[in-house]
Amino acid sequence: MNSRPVVLVTGANSGIGLACAEAIARKGYRVYATYRNPRKAGHLWRLSRSLPLFPLLMDVNRTPSVQKAVSQILKKEKRVDALINNAGFVMAGFWEDLSDKDVRDQFETNVFGLLRVSRAVLPFMRKQGSGKILNIGSVAGFAALPGLGAYSATKFAVNSITEALRMETRPWGIDVTEINPGEIQTSVVQNARLGERVKSPQSPYTPFTKYFENFSKERFEKAAPVEKLVGVVLKALEDRPMKRRYLVKLDDYFTYYLRWLLPDALWEWGLGIMFPWSRFPR
């Protein structure tokens, strides 16, 4: 008889997902940590020896894989108390340099995958009359950046899905929130995918792309340690009810409130200083 809450974390083989899964397991929750690539799950299996952490194969892009994993959990535990929708990646590149497939792949994982797992879990949460869903969003979910448009668009969409789910599932005692980290020290930059035409010599955006690379490298030098985000996730898991949205570091609050306060024209003027395209040779 185990009464400890069951948490499902997607994309848990590295970065934010791994850190969250480990910390949550240390708190005594029973954690189902999913990974897509078995070859990259070594660390999860090592952790599973000493913690109530159970690695599980799941590709959020594929419905059968999601359904199989969720039904495995339910068979064993008969419940799911919280879902942390973390699986995602960054597609970098200016809009014109992205192909149809690039855009679709980005949405498949970051948005449709999130919906897929949520939809698989929700019927059970409704049955048990409780549950929490934490979507990992991003600061890019309320401030879109050039060169990162596709990623921003997925996170804007997640923002909206969080709001909708929050209203729709509330009658069954289900609480939904979004956590919006800014730059966090993970391998998200190394794991970023580049759009099809980003490195092509024909791309008219090459000078901007170079500038953007340096810009994001510099930003990530000041990234916050992942523990900071983990603390917020743990807090959200214990909050009752959860806040509508959680931010992580001071920088993010600053961006959030600036975007909120400044009229579009001023905001864009600021971005124009950060990304001085017009001074580039073409």
Helices 15-26, 226-238: axis angle to 10 degrees equals: 50
Distance CA 267, CA 273 (A): 10
Does residue 239 touch another protein according to CB under 8 A? no
Write the CA distances from 202 to 62, 65, 207, integer angstroms.
34, 39, 12
Q: Is 214 in the site for another protein (CB under 8 A)?
A: no
Nearest CB to another protein, comparing residues 53 and 143:
143
We find the least distance from the C-beta atom of residue 227 to another protein, in angstroms, to be: 26
Q: Are 140 and 88 in contact (CB under 8 A)?
A: no
ω before 146 within 30° of 0 (cis)?
A: no
Least separation in angstroms between CB 249 and another protein: 20
Among 45, 95, 220, 253, binds another protein (CB under 8 A): 95
- Per CB under 8 A, the segment of 3-11, 102-110, 180-188, 218-226 that binds another protein is 102-110
Report which of 86, 152, 75 is spatially closest to residue 114, judged by C-alpha positions: 86
Q: Is 133 helix (H, G, I), strand (E, B) or coil?
A: strand
Q: Cβ 223 to another protein, closest distance in Å?
A: 21
Active-site position among 151, 205, 246, 256: 151
Distance CA 158, CA 1 (A): 36
Task: Provide φ and ψ at 130, rounded to 5°.
Answer: -165, 165
Per rule CB under 8 A, is residue 161 in the interface with another protein? yes
Among 42, 204, 225, 231, binds another protein (CB under 8 A): 204
Query: What residues act catalytically?
Result: 151
Q: Name the site residues for another protein (rule: CB under 8 A).
A: 63, 94-96, 98, 100, 103-104, 107, 111-112, 115-116, 118-119, 122-123, 126, 144-149, 152-161, 163-172, 204-205, 208, 243-245, 260, 264-265, 268, 271-272, 275, 277-278, 280, 282
